[in-house]
Amino acid sequence: MTGPVLEAIDISQYLGDGAARFQALDAVNLAIAGGELTLLMGPSGSGKTTLLSILGCMLTPSSGTVRVNGHPTAGLEPGDLARLRRDNIGFVFQSYHLFQTLTAIDNVRIALDIRGESSDRSTQKATEVLAIVGLAHKAGSYPRELSGGEQQRVAIARAIVGDPSVLLADEPTAALDAENGRAVMSVLARIARDSARGVLVVTHDPRISSFADRVVHIEDGRIISDSRAAGSQKVA
């Protein structure tokens, strides 16, 4: 396990205006290390999605600091921030966000195309990561031909094909049945074996806690517990 690949330091966030203004996060501190899968759990409205958005450099905190691989994000120009996010952070969403007119391999390759990778190199890398998520045999399939769990694994492949040091997943199993949810978490846990990559999963599903190295609970915008998980189902 290495040092932090992502840090939130004294992060506070206010949302809304006037009488509707409220504090969504209150002096949150969280460090994500390479080589581990962390679950961020909490009830609806607890601040977990807001924190994920800030950690993913999609939302600027009202106060506090975010560091990505030791680099503070405060004061960065929009273009520099976008490059930092592109080069270091991969995202997985509940609803997959796949392009319906593209095959699985092309959905993965698109993440490399925007980086200017050559066609041959992007095809090779996309093929490799589809194999990592167990879908090499589905490379030519369209999203409509894939199960929900398979679509989510394509989304994971797309998120890691650029070799980010941080993978952020927002409720990645919420739209899946128990079997597909376990399959997706097994993939995420395997990815988190890489000591150079940290994985943070936002979830409200306690059934997947056994896949985690660490479970963090947030309520009312504050971290209330942070513990190492026992009996992890991670695969060597």
Domain map (residue ranges) of the chain: 34-62+77-228
Q: pLDDT (tens digit, 9 = 90+) per residue, 39-52?
A: 999 998 899 999 99
Which fold, 34-62+77-228? Rossmann fold (3.40.50)
CA distance 159 to 140: 18
| Among the listed residues 47, 55, 49, the one whose alpha carbon sits nearest the alpha carbon of residue 26 | 47
pLDDT band, very low/low/confident/very high, at 1 (cuts 50, 70, 90):
very low
pLDDT at 236: 44
In the chain, % of residues over pLDDT 70: 95
In this structure, the number of other CB atoms found within 10 A of the CB of residue 71 comes to 11
Hey, how many other C-beta atoms are within 10 angstroms of the C-beta on 201?
A: 28
pLDDT (tens digit, 9 = 90+) per residue, 68-81? 999 999 888 999 99
Q: Which two tokens stand for residue 99?
A: 């392009």
pTM for the model: 0.90
Sequence-separated (6 or more) residues with CB below 8 Å from residue 204: 41, 42, 43, 44, 171, 174
Residue 173's pLDDT is 92
Q: Residue for token digits 């980010």?
A: 164
pLDDT value of position 115: 82
